[in-house]
Chain A
Amino acid sequence: MKKVFSRPKSLKKTPFHYCPGCGHSLLHRIIGEVIDEMNLQEKIIGIPPAGCAVLAYFYFDIDMGEASHGRAAALATGMKRAQPDKVVFTYQGDGDIAAIGTAETIHAAARGENFTTIFVNNGVYGMTGGQMAPTTILGQITTTSPGGRNERRDGFPINLSEMLAVAKGSAYIERTAVNSPANILKTKKAIAKAFRVQLEGYGFSLVEVLSPCPTNWKMDTLESCKWIDEVMTTHFPLGVLKDITGDKKDAH
């Protein structure tokens, strides 16, 4: 009997503190697998967000540097420009990247900063208890939109990845999800490709991952996975939004 699946080397053995069924846990493992397979553990630096994944440095066995809320793109800019031979990635939630961090994100993409952003989109502010986020859908109930997000009062959600695809400096943008094994594998491919895009110097790369937050959505894990399929993807369609590499083969 051969072991064909085990914990990635680049993750520490610490059990995750995330809620049952949380997308962060899955994403951490996926990123760990990619780091292992592409042999990046010694040259990669991650920038965790403010949010549930703020403690990412307790899980990833790589160099990591904390950013204040929303500023990861600016930190990554400084860090990557200071050592262009390293792989730098930010790991940000929807509030971090599309509310307080919108300017930094858009400008990093416009400047074509050569780092990778992993955008974890769960449509709420998870860490602080489930408030409305820039990606909360119209009608979605959150603690600051108790009657459902209202067009008049709250305006529309933001499709940040589509906006970033317009920026001339962005090289590769894809939206995936982690609500099924098939999507998990697609997410892994996308992240590997994003790191490859960075290694080859094409410019700004971003993978937006639709991620379940069963606790704040007030659903169980299986319902939250279904909700992503049935509701979220109609507002945030999966697929490649931009790819200047023209590459069809796998990043590995």
Chain B
Amino acid sequence: MVSAPLHVRKLPLRCIVPKVLMRGNHVLAEAAIRAGCRFYFGYPITPQNEIPEYMSERLSKVDGGVFIQAESEVASIHMVIGASMAGGRVMTSSSGPGISLKQEGISFLSALELPAVIVNMSRGGPGLGNIAPSQSDYFQATRGGGHGDYRNIVLAPSSCQELANLTYEAFNLADQYRTPVIILGDGMLGQMMEPVELPPEVQIKKLPHKDWTLTGAKGRPSRFLRSLILDPFEEEEHNWKLMRKYERITKEEIRWETYFADDAKLMVVAFGIAARIAKGAIKRMRDEGQKVGLIRPISLWPFPYKAIKEITKKVRHFFVFEMNMGQMLEDVKLALEGNGEVHFYGRPGGIILTPLEISRVISSYYYQKRLG
């Protein structure tokens, strides 16, 4: 049985916002509603089923809320396109195999410059994989996944609070830049329960007006939205237009966090749930006097290349920890531009290390490199 605590839905705006204990998937869904999302089209797939379940109830209780459990992930991403063309704030969610199905739609959303939020609660892969959490969809999210030259903003939360904050922000970013935004979570984040402060409800009528939507040509010339541009010179110009937008996003929207970075001799690089585990490990190691720090990219695209490169001024050793076979690793290597040594430790398939276990691996590398 799924239901959010009653008081969550009736939060008054001007009081001290209490924290509520909520499951990650529910937090994400609630934050989306508060961000003004009124259209959700999804399909069941573990480990994100709580999202469509929550949306199916919650959207029936808000004005103009539309929920459809579509016949497939393919259908749902195209329903997203339709509702986005009409100007709505719209979201879909899935996990690895379903996100694969959505790739054509995501390429179209990018080409058509349509805002949308796409949530991936990653699981073990490839293929049907398993339902345990993993981070093996990093390439899929950041390298396009679909065909053509495009980039999507990719945000990687590592706590239930971040699920709330980043999902909320995702809708604003999507509208601001007219681009899809991907929330790259994982099965563990989706299932875990933590106390969160939910963001305030957006006033939909006060959202900025969109002057490009398909709403019927009343009082204005008719318009169309399309991605087929047969003339190569025009298509090239369209690609340049998208690239200029991505440059603006790269300038303004890079997000990352550091932890115990100031005097670190070894920098761990991790994102999402792996970073969460790494923080626990680093705290342990600091207690034992090891000078280890963490840099955690929060935007996976645009990736904080400069921030990592900056660190090479003081640190030579980097330890990339991911729950996959080495994907963000490539971006870290690009960032380093050959400065420093990178060691990789990955566990795919849904294995979740404890902070103690990963601290042992990092420690042994730390001492092996004679850093302490």
* A and B directly contacting (CB within 8 A): yes
Residues of A at under 8 Å CB distance from B? 41-45, 47, 54-55, 57, 60-68, 71, 74-83, 86, 103-104, 106-107, 111
Interface size on B, residues (CB 8 A): 40
> Is B225 an interface residue, CB under 8 A from the partner?
yes
Q: Write the nearest CB–CB distance from B97 to chain A, whole angstroms.
A: 17
Q: Write the nearest CB–CB distance from B127 to chain A, whole angstroms.
A: 22
B214→A63 contact, CB < 8 A: yes
> Is B85 an interface residue, CB under 8 A from the partner?
yes
> Is B52 an interface residue, CB under 8 A from the partner?
no
Q: List 23 A-B contacts (CB under 8 A).
A: A42-B217, A47-B82, A54-B228, A57-B226, A60-B222, A61-B217, A63-B216, A63-B223, A64-B224, A64-B226, A65-B85, A65-B226, A66-B108, A66-B226, A71-B105, A77-B79, A78-B78, A78-B80, A78-B82, A78-B90, A79-B82, A82-B82, A104-B74
Query: Interface-forming stretch among B17-25, B64-72, B318-326?
Result: B64-72
Q: Which residue of A lies closest to B71 (CB)?
A: A107
> Is B75 an interface residue, CB under 8 A from the partner?
yes
Main secondary structure of the interface of B (DSSP, over half): mixed
Chain B residue numbers with a CB within 8 Å of A106 are 71
Chain A residue numbers with a CB within 8 Å of B80 are 78
Chain A residue numbers with a CB within 8 Å of B71 are 103-104, 106-107
For B194-223 the 0/1 string (1 means CB < 8 A from A) is 000000000000000000001111110011
B223→A77 contact, CB < 8 A: no
Q: Write the nearest CB–CB distance from A180 to chain B, whole angstroms.
A: 31
Q: Given A45-B216, A107-B71, does the pair A82, B87 have CB atoms closer than 8 Å?
A: yes
Most chain B Cβ neighbours within 10 Å, of A60, A63, A76, A111: A63
Q: Which residue of A lies closest to B221 (CB)?
A: A61
Most chain B Cβ neighbours within 10 Å, of A81, A86, A104: A81
Q: Given A65-B82, A77-B79, A78-B39, does the pair A103, B217 have CB atoms closer than 8 Å?
A: no
Pick the contact of B78: A62, A68, A111 (CB < 8 A).
Answer: A68
Q: Write the nearest CB–CB distance from A68 to chain B, whole angstroms.
A: 5
- What is the bound-complex CA distance between A84 and B206, given in angstroms? 22
Pick the contact of B79: A42, A57, A63, A78 (CB < 8 A).
Answer: A78
Q: Write the nearest CB–CB distance from B264 to chain A, whole angstroms.
A: 48
- What is the bound-complex CA distance between A68 and B214, given in angstroms? 17
- What is the bound-complex CA distance between A31 and B83, given in angstroms? 24
9 closest A-B pairs (Cβ-Cβ)?
A: A78-B82, A74-B78, A78-B79, A57-B224, A79-B82, A75-B82, A78-B83, A82-B86, A42-B218
A63→B78 contact, CB < 8 A: no
Q: Given A57-B224, A63-B216, A71-B78, does the pair A79, B70 have CB atoms closer than 8 Å?
A: no
Pick the contact of B82: A44, A76, A107, A111 (CB < 8 A).
Answer: A76
Q: Given A42-B218, A67-B81, A104-B78, does the pair A78, B228 have CB atoms closer than 8 Å?
A: no
